[in-house]
């Protein structure tokens, strides 16, 4: 019960603590703040095991100068939720391709929270919601060369949920 309280609102099987400890040891050798590109160049092939599979750090961290990590702990936090991290990597890299599409920290956090909520809806759905909404965001960035508003992303996620039989109440994050 204590472990469950400690993990709080985790939406994915946790990455093994030994994996994170090994990553922390490696990251401590790097000077921070560091960009996503710097982290990938130094540790991109570092493998991280989660309950859902194995990921290279390069699959989870955006190859971008726009993504800056202030500490090893920030990198560790991103790696804790590999499905969401991989989705956000795609979004950040798509935004990077279009200079007019820039992230603010609150918008990044809102996108990430929306993807976490989608991940939490049903653990057995092969993360279809995360993939569909990520594809939609990337497509919008490419078409309009701007980021969709976080409210639009939440609204689109709610539409996806409702059309697939998942209840979304108005008092929830996705219930825009």
Q: How far apart are CA 62 and CA 25, in angstroms?
A: 21
Q: How far apart are CA 38 and CA 161, in angstroms?
A: 37
The C-alpha angle 125, 132, 100, rounded to 5 degrees, equals: 150
Question: Which residues, 6 or more positions from 19, have their beta carbon under 8 angstroms from its beta carbon?
Answer: 48, 49, 50
> What's the pTM value of the predicted model, to 2 decimals?
0.83
Summarised one tens digit per residue, pLDDT across range 113-123 is 999 999 988 65
Summarised one tens digit per residue, pLDDT across range 15-58 is 666 767 778 888 888 999 999 999 999 888 888 877 777 888 89
Q: How far apart are CA 29 and CA 122, in angstroms?
A: 38
């Amino acid at each position: 019960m204590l472990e469950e309280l400690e993990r709080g609102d985790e939406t994915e099987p946790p990455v093994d603590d030994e994996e994170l400890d090994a990553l922390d040891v490696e990251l401590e050798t790097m000077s921070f703040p560091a960009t996503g590109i710097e982290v990938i160049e130094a540790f991109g092939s570092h493998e991280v095991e989660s309950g859902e599979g194995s990921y290279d750090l390069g699959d989870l961290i955006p190859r971008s100068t726009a993504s800056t990590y202030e500490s090893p702990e920030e990198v560790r936090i991103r790696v804790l939720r590999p499905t969401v991290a991989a989705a956000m990597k795609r979004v950040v890299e798509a935004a990077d391709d279009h200079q007019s599409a820039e992230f603010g920290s609150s918008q990044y956090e809102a996108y990430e929270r929306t993807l976490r909520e989608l991940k939490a809806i049903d653990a057995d759905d092969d993360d279809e919601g995360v993939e569909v909404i990520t594809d939609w965001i990337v497509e919008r960035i490419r078409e309009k060369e701007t980021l969709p508003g976080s409210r639009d992303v939440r609204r689109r996620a709610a539409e996806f949920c409702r059309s697939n039989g998942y209840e979304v109440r108005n008092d929830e994050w996705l219930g825009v």
